[in-house]
Structure 1
Amino acid sequence: MTNLRPDLRLDDRDIAILATLSREGRITKTELAARVNLSPTPCWERMKRLEKAGLIHGYRAQISLADLGPHVQVFVTVELESHRAESFQIFERTVARIGQVVGCWAIGGGYDYLLQIVATDVTTFQSLMDGLLESRAGVRRYFSYIVTKPVKEIPPALALLGDADI
Structure 2
Amino acid sequence: MPEKPPAIALDDRDIKILSILSTEGRIAKAELARRVNLSAAPCWERLNRLEAAGVIRRYRAEIALARIAPSVTVFVMVELEHHRAESFQVFERTVARHEEIVGCWALGGGFDYLMSVVTASIDSYQRLIDQLLECNIGLKRYFTYIVTKEVKAGSPPLAALLTGRPTI
TM-score when normalising by structure 1: 0.94
> For the residues of structure 1 that align with 2:58 and 2:118, how far apart are their CA atoms?
21
Question: What is the Cα deviation at residue 118 of structure 1?
Answer: 0.7
- Partner of residue 50, structure 2: 50
- Partner of residue 139, structure 2: 139
2:16 maps to 1:38: no
> For the residues of structure 2 that align with 1:79 and 1:108, how far apart are their CA atoms?
11
How many residues align? The count is 162
Q: Deviations over 1:37-87 (max 9, x none)?
A: 111110000000000000011110110111111111000000000000000
Greater relative contact order: 1 or 2 (C-alpha under 8 angstroms, separation 6 or more)? 1
- Partner of residue 110, structure 2: 110
> For the residues of structure 1 that align with 2:137 and 2:77, how far apart are their CA atoms?
14
Q: Which runs of 5+ in 2 are unaligned?
A: none
TM-score when normalising by structure 2: 0.93
Structure with higher strand content:
1
> For the residues of structure 2 that align with 1:150 and 1:53, how far apart are their CA atoms?
33
| Percent of paired sites with the same residue | 60
Q: Which runs of 5+ in 1 are unaligned?
A: none
Q: Alpha carbon RMSD of aligned pairs, Å?
A: 1.4
2:64 maps to 1:72: no
Question: What is the Cα deviation at residue 7 of structure 1?
Answer: 3.2
1:124 alignment partner AA: S
